């Protein structure tokens, strides 16, 4: 019998089996209509009801207050990197940005096109292996932008910083719904869904009322958040299927006990894997312990045990060893190498235990 496959991809990533089965069935017949959800009009009542239910699931799970709007858009988080400052930052205004990883750096780069950007902290010189919490913020910043979790380097803000002025904006692409957050502490939360809550193709933006419409530039219609708020996410044809996958994933999360339940599971998974890495003689984690991510765990060979000359050959051997056990997508990001296990919400603890067992067995093989 073949091993069960565990998908440790950083995104698009593992999704709940329950959600996948329901989404698969909807591709043939949605809501007993005899029509596939892929070919059903977004103006139809079943789709309108599904969007409303998805928003309510999100509000209930995250405790989103009524004075926040929710926008579902295509374009990926990379598009939101420019939409956020385009909508929030005036040409002569300043925003504080934290540079804690590749995606944080991309958001920062886009913001410079629309206003003044103050880099409140940067750990780029240290290959983003930790988060500098000693922020050098502006006195008059419109907002402070952070990236909640850094997928490539495996660091995470465990305590969210407070802006010196203005409000907090957070890219939560890779830790959406992974832990409890107080939405009222943020002016805006946004991110791509393909890490934790859906397949690729949709983004989520949660925006406090009153923040939009404060810049004097002309914003293209489709890039204006207010367009989609006023159009109830139906201004143009939205990414219906990706929203439905989100709907089913949120329902799964609600069924297992919500954010409190999944946060407990996520902390157990992370503790299990980091514990194994800390005890290992062959593998070592790369992120500073105090900033370790619950979602993404990068690790490399211990240089004192595996020489640089043997690293590449042994890395291939380990990936093959893991794949033979059904453990896939463990190769590290091309910019940093090594290995990375992404253990998002839908990764069961059994998958993490299988990886821990694999690390131990490979270590015995290396050490003899």
Q: For 292, which DSSP code? A: B
Instruction: Point out the catalytic residue in the list 69, 96, 99, 171.
Output: 171
50: left (phi over 0), alpha (psi -120 to 50) or beta: alpha
- Examine the residue annotation and report whether 103 is marked as an active-site residue of this protein: yes
Q: How far apart are CA 171 and CA 343, in angstroms?
A: 19
Instruction: Point out the catalytic residue in the list 96, 99, 103, 157.
Output: 103
Are 337 and 311 contacting, i.e. CB atoms less than 8 angstroms apart? Answer: no
Instruction: Point out the catalytic residue in the list 96, 99, 142, 195.
Output: 195
Q: How far apart are CA 95 and CA 115, in angstroms?
A: 8
Q: How far apart are CA 59 and CA 66, in angstroms?
A: 9
- Examine the residue annotation and report whether 361 is marked as an active-site residue of this protein: no
End-to-end CA distance of the chain: 28
Binding site listing for pyridoxal 5'-phosphate = 103, 151, 171, 194, 236-237
CA–CA–CA angle 322, 15, 267 (5° rounding):
75
Tell me the CA distances in angstroms from 349 to 82, 273, 298, 339, 356, one per residue in order.
37, 10, 18, 19, 10
Q: Please state the length of the chain.
A: 368
Binding site listing for L-glutamate = 43
- Examine the residue annotation and report whether 195 is marked as an active-site residue of this protein: yes
Binding site listing = 43, 103, 151, 171, 194, 236-237
- Catalytic residue IDs: 103, 171, 195
């Amino acid at each position: 019998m073949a091993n069960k496959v565990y998908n440790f991809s950083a995104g698009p990533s593992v999704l709940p089996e329950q959600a996948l089965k329901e989404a698969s069935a909807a591709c043939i017949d949605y809501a007993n209509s005899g029509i596939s959800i892929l070919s059903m009009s977004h103006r139809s009542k079943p789709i309108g009801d599904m969007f409303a239910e998805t928003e309510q699931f999100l509000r209930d799970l995250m405790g989103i207050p009524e004075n926040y709007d929710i926008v579902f858009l295509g374009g990926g988080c990379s598009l939101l990197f420019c939409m956020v400052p385009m909508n929030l930052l005036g040409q002569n205004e300043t925003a504080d940005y934290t540079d804690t990883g590749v995606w944080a750096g991309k958001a920062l780069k886009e913001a410079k096109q629309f206003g003044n950007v103050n880099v409140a902290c940067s750990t780029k010189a240290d290959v983003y292996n930790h988060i500098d919490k000693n922020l050098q913020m502006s006195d008059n910043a419109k907002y402070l932008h952070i990236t909640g979790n850094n997928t490539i380097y495996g660091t995470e803000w465990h305590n969210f910083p407070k802006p010196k002025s203005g409000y907090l904006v957070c890219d939560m692409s890779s830790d959406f719904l992974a832990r409890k957050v107080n939405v009222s502490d943020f002016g805006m939360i946004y991110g791509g869904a393909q890490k934790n809550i859906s397949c690729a193709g949709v983004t989520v933006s949660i925006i406090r009322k009153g923040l939009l419409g404060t810049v004097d530039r002309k914003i293209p219609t489709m890039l204006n958040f207010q367009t989609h708020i006023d159009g109830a996410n139906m201004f143009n044809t939205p990414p219906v299927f990706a929203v439905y996958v989100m709907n089913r994933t949120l329902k799964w999360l609600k069924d297992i006990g919500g954010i409190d339940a999944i946060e407990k599971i996520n902390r157990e998974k992370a503790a299990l894997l980091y514990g194994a890495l800390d005890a290992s003689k062959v593998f070592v984690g790369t992120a500073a312990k105090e900033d370790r991510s619950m979602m993404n765990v990068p690790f490399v060979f211990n240089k004192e045990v595996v020489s640089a000359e043997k690293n590449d050959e042994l890395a291939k051997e380990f990936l093959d060893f893991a794949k033979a056990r059904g453990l896939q997508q463990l190769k590290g990001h091309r910019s940093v190498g090594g290995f990375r296990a992404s253990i998002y919400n839908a990764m069961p603890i059994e998958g993490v235990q299988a990886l821990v067992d694999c690390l131990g067995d490979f270590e015995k093989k290396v050490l003899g």
